[in-house]
Amino acid sequence: MKPIIGISSVWSAETWSSDENKVGCIYIGKQYVDAILYSGGTPFILPMINERELLIPLIEDIMMVIDGLLLSGGGSLEGIPSQTTRPTLTEQQPKRYEFEKELLLHARMKGMPILGICRGCQMIAEVFGGKMDYSHFLQGHRQKESGDHPTHNVRITDNTKAKLLLQADNMLVNSFHVQSIESVPEGFIASAISDDGVIEIIESTLDPFVVGVQFHPEEMLLSSEQAKRIIDLFVESARDFKKTRS
């Protein structure tokens, strides 16, 4: 059987300023779904909820179903760049933060493979004890080109899983973020860094597969063999994890 990959979702009431009734909808970019399908997994969109008393029971049920956790990116509030400092991940989307934090804690406790993309990478860093840089808006990392077009280089650190996984010294990536990781959590390393010093990949040295990428590999599957390899090996790790449960 194919591994089931849980994909975290976004709540429109936290991201669309025009959504005044606060009911909204739960959504996710189709490219996340397609990437998991193309890599041999079964995508399972995880429904974010608001009610704290229902949160933990729901996540415990989810953990019984999924074999890998993909924390998605995106969903930043429009118009925020006019401020001098960046709101924190919690301030940007408080309900989503709470939901994804519990997903991360539960999944890692079970030894489940985790892949964080863009915001998801930042969630991994912050939830497990790293530090984000909210002091300014990052320049030069929010491209105008489409996501399948890589725009800058990252240098892959020697003696890391990323180096073994990507089998290269460098990788060309896309870029859609305005905040960055300042320091990684204990038990993690920065395994790829951009030419201007931004942390682009983090990985756990304590877990089989807990990886965060600051870029969007799901948008580069047709233009980058390395991007496809990231998704492929995440799904393969989830397949191995699934075997341990049967």
Mean pLDDT, the chain, rounded, equals 87
CATH of the domain at 15: 3.40.50.880
pLDDT at position 108: 98
pLDDT of 234 strictly over 80: yes
With beta carbons less than 8 A apart as the criterion, state whether 107 and 5 touch.
Answer: no
Output phi, psi for 88, to 5 deg: -70, 170
With beta carbons less than 8 A apart as the criterion, state whether 215 and 175 touch.
Answer: yes
Residue 113 structural domain: 4-245
Lowest mean pLDDT among 31-45, 59-73, 176-190, 229-243: 176-190
pLDDT digit string, tens, across residues 14-43: 877 655 567 788 899 999 999 999 999 999
With beta carbons less than 8 A apart as the criterion, state whether 193 and 155 touch.
Answer: yes
pLDDT digit string, tens, across residues 101-151: 999 999 999 999 999 999 999 999 999 999 987 664 555 445 465 545 666
Count of domains for the chain: 1
178 exposure class (CB count in 10 Å sphere: 0-12, 13-18, 19+): middle
